[in-house]
Structure 1
Amino acid sequence: MAVGFTLVLVNEPKEARDADVSAIAALDEPTRRRLYDHVVRQPGPVGRDEAAAALGLARQTAAFHLDRLADESLLDVVYERRSGRAGPGAGRPAKLYRRSAKQIAVTLPDRRYELAGRLLAQAVEESAATGEAVQPVLRRKAEELGTHLGAAGGAVLLDVLERYGFEPGHEEGALVLGNCPFHALARDHTETVCDMNLHLLRGVLHGLGELGYTAVLAPAPGRCCVRLEPAA
């Protein structure tokens, strides 16, 4: 049985990365960081009064920073009645905060290890289920994903390459890729990861309907192993 893609986890436009940077920057404020650390250590949601008392802050200060953390999607807001009663006279639900399920990662240069990990895991699982060798499954999965990325949202080639961290540049009619989003994996498992990357980018070209370039392996120091050459 084929394993499907969880595309929402790899479709990360520049705006999403900028939001991650903003969220991390929000934690640079010492009081806000202390509040965040306090909330995530608690077994349940935390109210403003509880957080203020625990850290020796004014309630207004705690509320301001907790709301800022919620605005950055670092905390989720929930409403619960702490009285244990329901119905008329039970009072208004309290505004509480808990750790968000959002995962934040910012790497410079841009790396996409989760994308590679998911492709590799899907290939291993489908290979085990069907008996097909892992390498051809990985090539197919990578090309399918690349096709989806290229076809999504009416993008153009340079935009897609920039979005996924390849840092494209022009060189004698070709597009060279100044960054490998899978750098550490490609360094340690060169043949497997570069082959996956090649088929991912072939899929991108196919999804875009881009006939002006063809993806080829062209390893060079300090660059991605794939180069987009002018089509013959």
Structure 2
Amino acid sequence: MDDFVSQVSGVSALAEPARRALYLYVAAQPEAVSRDQAAEGVGLPRHTAKFHLDKLVDEGLLDTEYRRLTGRRGPGAGRPTKLYRRSAREVAVTLPPRHYDLAGRILARAVDASAREGVPVLEAVQHAAAEFGHRLAAEAQPCEGGATPLDDIAATLAEHGYEPRVQDGVLVLANCPFHALAREHTTLVCGMNLHLITAMLHELGRTEVQARLAPAPGRCCVTLAEQPKQ
């Protein structure tokens, strides 16, 4: 949630026309630029450009550095100039949340493994999805004490955009983070989701919960439920 708020804040910072113009100008330059250069480039007063540039820095959209533009050094060379350049931060907001970057990493890992080891692509995708499932669960924030098994896995899945909801003892996932891919490559992506979530369950030690494929319109193809005690 904190990451989502940060992403939205970064995008909303660009809604202001002057700020957006400055960001696009700085991003288009091959080198970092001064506030005077940026102000002239977009036709703004210097003090206005300074205000908006520093707001973009606060939002993590621009980085700063200090350098003497004249190349002079030593006494009399003057103070270094504050320069602005686009930051390396990537900002993307989708509603409902999508995580195509995660799908891309899984598929890239699978293609690489398939090419190197001769593993069938579908098997490689499932194996890569399981690897990422273990990793994501290992990095998850521990659930508060007293949580039920379904609450535990729901908290982890919520961090990755699945929108889990318990309905009649079954954990359904109201959102598929790979929605567009799932529409075009249903078997591949649903299998990827199943292996990813199953690996999460194992990593969290929730072996009493079983994930299975149960496709239905308007939600993820995977559902989870506690297995009946023997």
Same fold (TM over 0.5): yes
- Give CA deviations for 1:95-150 in whole Å, capped at 9, x if unaligned: 00011111111001111111111111110111101112122222111112111111
Give the drift of 1:53.
2.5
Q: Is the 8 A contact 2:34 2:84 kept in 1?
A: yes
Aligned counterpart in structure 2 of residue 94 of structure 1, from 81, 96, 117: 81
Residues 153 and 216 from structure 1, CA distance in 2 versus in 1: closer, same or farther, beyond 3 angstroms?
A: closer
Shift of 1:212: 3.5
Residue 131 of structure 1 pairs with residue 118 of structure 2? yes
Q: 1:166 corresponds to which residue?
A: 162
Correspondence for 1:51 among 38, 45, 63? 38
Q: 1:177 corresponds to which residue?
A: 173
1:155–1:208 CA contact under 8 A, matched in 2: no
1:12-91 map, 5 Å: 14-91=1-78
2:202 match: 206
Deviates more, 1:205-214 or 1:153-162: 153-162
Identify which range, 134-143 or 61-70, moves more after superposition: 134-143
How far did residue 91 of structure 1 move? 2.0
The superposition leaves residues 160-196 of structure 1 with CA deviations (integer Å, 9 ceiling, x where unpaired) of 1111111111111110011111111111111111001
CA distance in 2, matches of 1:191, 1:153: 27
**SS of 1:78 mapped into structure 2:** strand
Alpha-carbon distance in 2 for matches of 1:193, 1:177? 15
Following the alignment from structure 2 to structure 1, what is the Cα–Cα distance between the partners of residues 17 and 196?
42
TM-score by length of 1: 0.90
SS at match of 1:98: strand
**1:11 maps to what in 2?**
none
| Superposed displacement of residue 153, structure 1 | 4.1
Which range moves more in the overlay, 164-173 or 153-162?
A: 153-162
Moved over 4 A (4+): none
* 1:90 Cα deviation after fit: 2.3
Verify the 8 A CA contact 2:141 2:156 in the aligned structure 1: no
Cα displacement (A) at 1:92? 1.7
**Structure 1 residue 71 displacement after superposition:** 0.9
Q: Percent identity?
A: 53
Q: CA deviation at 1:155?
A: 2.9
In structure 1, the partner of 2:102 is: 115
Structure 2 SS opposite 1:170: strand
- TM-score, normalised to structure 2, is 0.91
Counterpart amino acid of 2:82? Answer: K
User: Residue 213 of structure 2 aligns to which amino acid in structure 1?
Assistant: L
Q: Which residue of 2 aligns with 1:143?
A: 130
The whole-number CA distance in structure 2 between the counterparts of 1:134 and 1:59 is 56
Structure 2 unmatched runs, 5+: 144-152
Q: Which runs of 5+ in 1 are unaligned?
A: 1-13
SS at match of 1:27: helix
What is the SS of the residue equivalent to 2:15?
coil
